[in-house]
């Protein structure tokens, strides 16, 4: 073989080829071919220095050891591998296809017609509901604005105030919508602006007529207020500030003072006398059927004195056991009125369970002029 002959290893398939050049160096040809040459082991092809011979002078890579040559895993690692072995992903199953119906064309058309008919009925009912709501809304709007005006206002039960004054104080006007009028506030408005009105009831009719039924209150107590007097009803409401001469028509509360009385408001007492005690005593007198009370003296709560019909004086003492004391006083008053309707005297109720009557003369003070000559405990003593 000439000097220019050389041998190469082409490719990774380890197939050897021999190439020789032509003498003139213009072309070359293959002289010999070796198919599947015998692979040399690293030991046989080792270099003089002891290293394996490699292609193009590079060191050969170390091959990975086979699985059989690897060290065996421990028992614990085998268990972990068996425990955490990934499971293959499950494929989603497609839903089973529904079998096609064997309905004929006429049956399908009949079903479609039934569905269309139902849809038409539903749409029709929805349209009816919408129309009804619109009509109701229009009627409500008209009833609150144009329809049902107030054509007439009538007043019943008024004796202290004229009807025109009550209508003006109520706030109702002709032509106003009868539904929107504030009928619930008429009673409070009249009770504040017109003190003698206790409460009022308003009735409305479709014809446009409004009727105001008034319940009036009356005066029961009178409190001296300078040269005038303050008239109070049974609930302590200030009815009016009248002249001093008008106080004789009511039960005069002696030694009492009302602060800043305003008609239509509740009276406020100053000093030792309180409105609550006055109203409690007045209610007990009414419950015992003792009327025609002339004066009430609450200046000393341990010695309460009440004058009846300007001729009989009730010495009540304290307000403890008031109902029993007044029941005994009523028995004495009825007996004395039967004997002598013009009899003057004093009824002592300070002893519990007993009432003592003493005659007095008209020209003497009812609380001091006691006629001892006619006072005999054996005859005039009433044991309850």
**What does the pLDDT look like over 227-280, one tens digit per residue?**
999 999 999 999 999 998 899 999 999 999 999 999 989 999 988 888 999 999
Q: What are the beta bridge partners of residue 152? A: 209
CA-nearest of 217, 224, 314, 218 to 269 is 224
How far is the C-alpha of 41 from the C-alpha of 49, rounded, in Å? 16
What's residue 29's pLDDT? 45
What's residue 361's pLDDT? 79
What's residue 146's pLDDT? 60
Is 80 exceeded by the pLDDT of residue 306? yes
Mean pLDDT for 118-147 is 82
Are the beta carbons of 182 and 188 closer than 8 angstroms? Answer: no
Range among 35-44, 89-98, 153-162 rated most confident: 153-162
Residue 36 vs residue 129, higher pLDDT: 129
What's residue 138's pLDDT? 78
What's residue 267's pLDDT? 93
Mean pLDDT for 149-165 is 87
Which has the minimum average pLDDT: 61-70, 197-206, 228-237?
A: 61-70
What's residue 192's pLDDT? 87
- 3-state SS record for the chain: CCCCCEEEEECCCCEEEEEEECCCCCCEEEEEEECCCCCCCCCCCECCCCCECCHHHCCCCCCCCCCCCCCCCCHHHHHHHHHCCCCCCCCCCCCCCCCCCCCCHHHHHHHHHHHHHHHHHHHHHHHHHHHHHHHHHHHHHHHHHCCCECCEEEEECCCCCCHHHHHHHHCCCCCCECCCCCHHHHHHHHHHHCCCEEEEEEEECCCCEEEEEEEECCCCEEEEECCEEEEECCCCEEEEEEEHHHHHHCEEEECCEECCCCCCCECCEECCCCHHHHHHHHHHHHHCCCCCEEEEECCCCCCEEEEECCCEEEEEECCCCHHHHHHHHHHHHHHHHHHCCCCCEEEECCCCCEEEEEECCCCCCCCCCCCCCCCCHHHHEEEC
What's residue 139's pLDDT? 74
Token pair in block for residue 24: 């003139």
* Mean model confidence pLDDT for the chain: 76
How far is the C-alpha of 86 from the C-alpha of 303, rounded, in Å? 106
Range among 98-102, 333-337, 369-373, 376-380 rated most confident: 333-337
Find the angle CA(17)-CA(19)-CA(23) to the nearest 5 degrees. 170
Residue 177 CA: distances (Å) to CA of 132, 164, 367: 24, 20, 63
Please give the share of the chain, as a percent, with pLDDT higher than 90.
Answer: 32
Mean pLDDT for 272-293 is 92
pLDDT (tens digit per residue) in 344-371: 999 999 988 899 999 987 754 434 444 4
Token pair in block for residue 234: 């049974």
Mean pLDDT for 372-381 is 37
What's residue 28's pLDDT? 46
Residues contacting 85, CB < 8 A, separation 6+ = none
What's residue 80's pLDDT? 54
What does DSSP say about strands 152-156 and 209-216: parallel, antiparallel, or unpaired? parallel
Residue 303 vs residue 108, higher pLDDT: 303
The domain locations on the chain are 124-216, 217-271, 272-384
Token pair in block for residue 61: 């890579």
Mean pLDDT for 301-319 is 93
Is 70 exceeded by the pLDDT of residue 310? yes
Mean pLDDT for 303-328 is 93
What's residue 181's pLDDT? 76
**Does the predicted model carry a pTM greater than 0.85?**
no
Range among 17-26, 140-149, 180-189 rated most confident: 180-189
Mean pLDDT for 176-196 is 83
Is 50 exceeded by the pLDDT of residue 119? yes
What's residue 113's pLDDT? 87
* Long-range contact set of residues 221-225: C-beta below 8 Å, sequence gap at least 24: 221/250, 221/251, 221/252, 221/253, 221/278, 221/282, 221/296, 222/246, 222/247, 222/249, 222/250, 222/251, 222/252, 222/253, 223/252, 223/253, 223/256, 223/257, 223/258, 223/267, 224/252, 224/256, 225/258, 225/261
> What class has domain 272-384?
alpha beta
Mean pLDDT for 281-293 is 93
What's residue 219's pLDDT? 93
Mean pLDDT for 214-231 is 92
What's residue 92's pLDDT? 65
Q: Which fold has domain 124-216?
A: Ubiquitin-like (UB roll) (3.10.20)
Token pair in block for residue 297: 């003296």
């Amino acid at each position: 073989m000439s000097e220019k002959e050389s041998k190469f290893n082409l490719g990774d398939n380890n197939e050897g080829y021999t190439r020789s050049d032509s003498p003139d160096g213009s072309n070359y040809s293959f002289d010999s071919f070796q198919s599947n040459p015998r692979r040399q082991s690293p030991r046989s092809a080792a270099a003089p220095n002891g290293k394996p011979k490699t292609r193009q002078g590079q060191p050969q890579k170390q091959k990975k050891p086979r699985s059989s040559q690897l060290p065996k895993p421990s028992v614990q690692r085998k268990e972990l591998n068996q425990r955490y072995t990934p499971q293959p992903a499950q494929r989603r199953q497609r839903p089973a296809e529904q079998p096609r119906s064997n309905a004929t064309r006429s049956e399908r058309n009949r079903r479609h017609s039934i569905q269309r008919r139902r849809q038409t009925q539903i749409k029709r009912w929805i349209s009816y509901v919408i129309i009804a709501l619109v009509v109701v809304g229009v009627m409500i709007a008209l009833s609150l604005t144009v329809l049902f005006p107030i054509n007439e206002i009538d007043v019943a039960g008024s004796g202290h105030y004229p009807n025109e004054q009550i209508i003006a104080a109520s706030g109702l006007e002709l032509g106003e919508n009868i539904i929107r009028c504030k009928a619930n506030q008429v009673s409070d408005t009249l009770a504040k602006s017109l003190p003698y009105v206790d409460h009022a009831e308003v009735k409305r009719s479709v014809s446009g007529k409004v009727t105001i039924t008034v319940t009036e209150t009356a005066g029961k107590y009178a409190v001296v207020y300078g040269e005038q007097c303050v008239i109070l009803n049974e609930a302590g409401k200030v009815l009016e500030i009248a002249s001093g001469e008008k106080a004789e028509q009511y039960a005069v509360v002696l030694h009492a003072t009302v602060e800043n009385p305003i008609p239509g408001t509740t009276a406020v007492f100053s000093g030792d006398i309180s409105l609550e005690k006055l109203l409690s005593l007045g209610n007990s007198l009414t419950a015992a059927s003792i009327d025609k009370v002339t004066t009430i003296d609450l200046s000393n709560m341990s010695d309460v004195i009440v004058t009846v019909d300007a001729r009989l004086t009730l010495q009540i003492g304290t307000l403890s056991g008031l109902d029993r004391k007044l029941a005994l006083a009523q028995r004495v008053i009825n007996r004395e009125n039967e004997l002598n309707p013009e009899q003057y005297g004093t009824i002592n109720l300070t002893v519990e369970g007993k009432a003592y009557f003493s005659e007095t003369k008209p020209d003497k003070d009812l609380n001091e002029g006691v006629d001892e000559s006619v006072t005999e405990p054996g005859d005039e003593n009433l044991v309850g």
